[in-house]
RNA sequence: GCGAGCGUAGCCAAGUGGUUAAGGCGGUGGUUUGUGGUACCAUUAUUCGUGGGUUCGAGCCCCAUCGUUCGCCCCA
């Protein structure tokens, strides 16, 4: 009989790795909180049309990557492939706009996409994301980008680059799309086959094709930045200026195209030079049309998401984090002593110590070996004789000093030894 | 969904058709039955991801399947 294993593209995050996750979550939530963002938790599954309408039916994410199933009530349900649609749905449903001003929200959690797993890409993966709803100011775009760079900096990451583009308004994109088609169509036969398909479906994507020939052709293609209307142009210029004011370096990348339909104007990615092909660590942008598209009142918004697995790959290369060790390792032998040790351990925990109780029942030698391996500073020893005399032995594992003390004095002695 | 590589113990691995599957780390037991970190000894895979096939004989060759890695696609 074969053992049951985790589903393809999913991973257990074992205790050794969890430390990195906790570190990342703590760092991010502190920075988000400082910027007045509040955490929101939305369901992991939603009605399928939310994503179809929100992300766009023509996108790959919706077209071929969603975990969609019919539930027992015959409803079409989808495991969320990204976080924004759910947050926006919640924003509309709970009338969060009623508070008048802007709404600053962040989330973290599992997302699901049916893709071929590879380094930095799983079927169940995790994102930390942020959404700023209700402001169309360029300052909002920059605030959001600055928070992302702050988080990455606080984590100590290097070799990152912020790629910046504007995909303009819907109208801008229409005119640009036509201009691009006019340019590319004569070269149609020289494009790679994927790009030929995209000519009709999504010509903007051709720009970041990895095919050599296509790249050469795309080299001289018109740039979207030349097709921005006055408002879009002005907005984008301001974003650039403000980023410079904050000394946040960026690279203009007119070929940066985001794969989800809801993006407008500012689009950005933060990519790492230390990952493989899946190098985008953070991606986001403005999505002014999404709230109304999902049935809310016209609300401008910006946001991003960070791929946590990818970040953790980078963190692991930086500094190794070691797991928590107990302050005290508790050795006991003999039934009375064992039972009483449980009581003392509980009291010590209530007093704030991290206590690991040896439950093996094996001889002292083995228990001491384990105490050494546990990484604890102090070893407590309780045996038959100590129980009878109301005493306990306190051993300092760092210098091997050991003394027998009265159980009433234990806390006192421990405060002297620890810290 | 497509292309390529890989899959031997908890981990790192040697082994490329011929009797019993190197070694290291780790684990467990002991030397040391109330005292750790060292040392020494012993032990730790009836079996090479799984299922078929070729062969007198397969971890090694072939096919399928699953998993994994890299690339494409796509995205965080």
CA of A372 to C1' of B20 (A): 39
Nucleic strand B near CB of residue A307 (< 7 Å): yes
**Rounded mean pLDDT of A31-60?**
95
Sole residue written with tokens 């407008």: A264
Say how far apart CA A200 and CA A212 lie, in whole Å.
Answer: 21
Percent of chain A with pLDDT strictly greater than 90: 69
Domains A15-168+228-318 and A328-417 share a fold: no
A193-233 residue pLDDT tens: 888 888 877 788 888 787 888 888 888 889 999 999 999 99
Nucleic strand B near CB of residue A335 (< 7 Å): no
Could you tell me the pLDDT band of residue A2, with boundaries at 50, 70 and 90?
Answer: low
Nucleic strand B near CB of residue A141 (< 7 Å): no
Could you tell me the pLDDT band of residue A348, with boundaries at 50, 70 and 90?
Answer: very high
Q: Where are the beta strands (DSSP E) in A61-159?
A: 67-70, 76-79, 103-112, 124-133
Residue A54 near residue A262 (C-beta atoms within 8 A): yes
- Give residue A258's pLDDT: 78
Q: Would the pLDDT of A1 be above 70?
A: no
CA of A1 to C1' of B20 (A): 28
**Rounded mean pLDDT of A145-174?**
94
**Rounded mean pLDDT of A321-343?**
90
Nucleic strand B near CB of residue A340 (< 7 Å): no
Q: Which residue is nearest to nucleotide B71 (CA to C1')?
A: A277
Say how far apart CA A209 and CA A196 lie, in whole Å.
Answer: 11
A103-112 and A38-39 as β-strands: parallel, antiparallel, unpaired?
parallel
Sequence spans of domains, chain A:
15-168+228-318, 328-417
| CA of A384: nucleotide with nearest C1' | B34
Could you tell me the pLDDT band of residue A6, with boundaries at 50, 70 and 90?
Answer: confident
Residue A255 near residue A229 (C-beta atoms within 8 A): no
Listing DSSP states for A29-53 in one string gives: HHHHHHTT-EE----SEEEHHHHHH
Nucleic strand B near CB of residue A336 (< 7 Å): no
| Residue A183: burial class (beta carbons within 10 Å; 0-12, 13-18, 19+) | middle
CA of A5 to C1' of B67 (A): 10
Q: How many CA within 13 A on the CB side of residue A366?
A: 7
Q: Would the pLDDT of A307 be above 90?
A: yes
Could you tell me the pLDDT band of residue A257, with boundaries at 50, 70 and 90?
Answer: confident
DSSP A4: P
CA angle centred on A361, ends A355 and A365, rounded to 5° = 85
Q: Would the pLDDT of A264 be above 70?
A: yes
CA of A310 to C1' of B48 (A): 33
- Give residue A342's pLDDT: 94
**Rounded mean pLDDT of A287-316?**
95
Nucleic strand B near CB of residue A305 (< 7 Å): yes
CA of A11 to C1' of B60 (A): 32
Rg (Cα) of chain A, in Å, rounded?
28
Class (C level, CATH) for A15-168+228-318: alpha beta
Other Cβ atoms less than 10 A from the Cβ of A223: the count is 16
A95: alpha, beta or left, given left = phi > 0 and alpha = psi -120 to 50? Answer: left
Q: Would the pLDDT of A409 be above 50?
A: yes
CATH 3.40.1550.10 fits A328-417, yes or no: no
Mean pLDDT of chain A: 92
Could you tell me the pLDDT band of residue A399, with boundaries at 50, 70 and 90?
Answer: confident
DSSP A409: G
Q: Would the pLDDT of A237 be above 60?
A: yes
Q: Would the pLDDT of A362 be above 70?
A: yes
Say how far apart CA A13 and CA A19 lie, in whole Å.
Answer: 10
- Give residue A159's pLDDT: 92
CB neighbour list of residue A354: distance below 8 Å, 6 or more residues apart: A324, A325, A326, A327, A328
Within 7 A of a protein CB, which nucleotides of strand B?
1-3, 27-30, 32-37, 50, 66-76
């Amino acid at each position: 009989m074969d053992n049951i294993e985790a589903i393809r593209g999913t991973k257990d995050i074992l205790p050794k790795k969890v430390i990195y996750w906790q570190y990342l979550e703590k760092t991010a939530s502190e920075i988000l909180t400082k910027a007045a963002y509040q955490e929101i938790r939305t369901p992991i599954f939603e009605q399928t049309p939310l994503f179809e309408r929100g992300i766009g039916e023509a996108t790959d994410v919706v077209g071929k990557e969603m975990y969609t199933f019919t539930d027992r009530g015959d409803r079409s349900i989808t495991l969320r492939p990204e976080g924004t649609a759910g947050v926006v749905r919640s924003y509309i449903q709970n009338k969060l706009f009623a508070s008048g001003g802007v709404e600053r929200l962040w989330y973290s959690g599992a997302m699901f996409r049916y893709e071929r797993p590879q380094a930095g890409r799983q079927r169940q993966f995790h994102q930390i994301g942020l959404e700023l709803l209700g402001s169309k100011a360029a300052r909002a775009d920059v605030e959001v980008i600055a928070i992302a760079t702050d988080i990455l900096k606080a984590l100590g990451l290097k070799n990152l680059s912020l790629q910046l583009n504007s995909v303009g308004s819907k109208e801008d994109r229409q005119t640009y799309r036509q201009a691009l088609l006019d340019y590319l169509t004569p070269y149609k036969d020289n494009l790679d086959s994927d790009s030929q398909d995209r000519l009709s479906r999504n010509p903007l994507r051709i720009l970041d094709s990895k095919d050599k020939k296509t790249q050469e052709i795309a080299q001289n293609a018109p740039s979207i930045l030349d097709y921005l209307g006055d408002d879009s142009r002005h907005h984008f210029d301001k974003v650039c200026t403000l980023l410079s004011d904050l000394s946040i370096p960026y690279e203009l990348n007119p070929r940066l195209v985001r794969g989800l339909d809801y993006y407008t104007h500012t689009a950005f990615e933060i990519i790492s030079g230390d990952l493989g092909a899946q190098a985008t660590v953070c991606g986001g942008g403005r999505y002014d049309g999404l709230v109304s598209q999902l049935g809310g009142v016209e609300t401008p918004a910006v946001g991003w998401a960070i791929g946590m697995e990818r970040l953790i790959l980078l963190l692991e290369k930086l500094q190794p984090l070691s797991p928590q060790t107990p302050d005290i390792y508790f050795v006991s032998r003999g039934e009375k002593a064992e039972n009483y040790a449980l009581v003392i351990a509980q009291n010590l925990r209530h007093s704030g110590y991290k206590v690991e109780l040896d439950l093996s029942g094996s001889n002292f030698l083995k228990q001491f070996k384990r105490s050494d391996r546990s990484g604890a500073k102090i070893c407590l020893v309780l045996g038959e004789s100590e129980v009878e005399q109301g005493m306990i032995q306190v051993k300092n594992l760092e210098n091997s000093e050991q003394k027998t003390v009265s159980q009433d004095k234990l806390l006192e002695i421990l405060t002297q030894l620890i810290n």
